Amino acid sequence: MGHMTRRLAGQLLSILCVCAIAQAAQARCEDHVPQARPQNTARDVVGQDLDTIQERGYITFAAYEDFPPWSYEEGGRPVGVDIDIGRLIAEDLGVEARFRLVAPGETLEADLRNWIWKGPVVGGAVANVMLHVPYDSEFACRVEQVVFTGQYHVEEIAIAYREDAYPEDPPVPAYFRFDTVAVENDSIADFYLSAFPGGQLSHNVSRLPTMAEAMRALAEGQTMAAMGPLAQLEAGLQDGLAVHTPPLPGFAVGNWTAGVAVHFGYRPLAYAVEDAIYAAISDGRMAAIFAAHGLSFRPPELR
């Protein structure tokens, strides 16, 4: 199966396209029929409430595997921005952070079902918190088993480029009618460039298995530019490369907010996690995490 960003692309597109249609037709969730609330089984209910977490001394997080710079394994231990955010939350609650790096499913609903409210069919159990969950209000009102909270960063699509190829003006998508650009295959950026009017860019787009490989191709001079999520581009920057966020005409999913997910039955835990994230954004600790990884931090609007 494909890489995390590829599946995230499909998740975001399905969420935002469906919601755009819904918003044009009616107010938020006006047509929504409440779902049956699932009953916890014994394995799901153990250790999920805030009191139990604090009594036992640790909190469990699900984070995506092989998803640098957000969450990945290095030297046999989980690292990345989301891992640091999990540790920040745990510290605020006065407990230890424990992580499970999980493979992304075909849809966001499948991920939430597997790791937050039901558990996978084989090999594992639900976590207290899932990190890096893309947020959309229309989608949130339709997935009642989950509380979507703790929004901590606005992600956006950007373009990285070779400074020697563009000594004056950084490239914009229209440049790729003539210039080469690398993307992750089946990613949001790939979908956008492929849909450029008349298919004018297709012959100049190199589709690689991961964003990291696209950035390596850029560094090695195999392409003039690379397009994808800003943080993943920044993580691959080397001398002679730069990145910018130009206007992207007609791009409905050019940016989105990342937050966390918690089982709907554990509201006190959701409130505590949200408060920890809000405090970290307010006092600069969240920005410091991003700076430590060499990434730009774009906070969501504070409540």
- pLDDT tens for 147-171 read 999 999 999 999 999 999 999 999 9
User: Burial code of 173-188, b = ≥16 C-beta within 10 A, e = fewer?
Assistant: bebbeebbbbbbbbbb
CATH top-level class of 4-27+44-154+254-292: alpha beta
pLDDT at res. 76: 95
**Highest-confidence segment of 96-110, 199-213, 220-234:** 220-234
CB atoms within 10 A of CB 145: 18
* Domain locations in the chain as residue ranges: 4-27+44-154+254-292, 156-244
DSSP secondary structure code for residue 59 in this structure: E
Cβ proximity of 215 and 227 under 8 Å? no
- Average pLDDT of the chain? 86
Closest CA to 129 of 92, 77, 86: 86
In degrees, rounded to 5, the angle at the alpha carbon of residue 291 between the alpha carbons of residues 165 and 221 is 20
Query: What's the length of the chain?
Result: 303
What span, in angstroms and rounded, lies between the C-alpha atoms of 64 and 130?
9
Topology classification of domain 156-244: D-Maltodextrin-Binding Protein; domain 2 (3.40.190)
What span, in angstroms and rounded, lies between the C-alpha atoms of 269 and 90?
11
pLDDT at res. 77: 97
Lowest mean pLDDT among 23-27, 113-117, 210-214, 240-244: 23-27
Domain 4-27+44-154+254-292 identical in fold to domain 156-244: yes
Q: What percent of the chain has pLDDT over 90?
A: 65
Q: What is the pTM of this model?
A: 0.85
Structure tokens at 123: 């090999």
What span, in angstroms and rounded, lies between the C-alpha atoms of 135 and 154?
10
- pLDDT tens for 239-291 read 999 999 999 888 877 789 999 999 999 999 999 999 999 999 999 999 999 99
Residue type, 73: E
Q: What percent of the chain has pLDDT over 70?
A: 83
Structure tokens at 37: 């609330």
pLDDT at res. 32: 55
pLDDT at res. 67: 92
What span, in angstroms and rounded, lies between the C-alpha atoms of 15 and 97?
30
Query: Is residue 128 exposed (0-12), middle (13-18) or buried (19+ Cβ within 10 Å)?
Result: buried
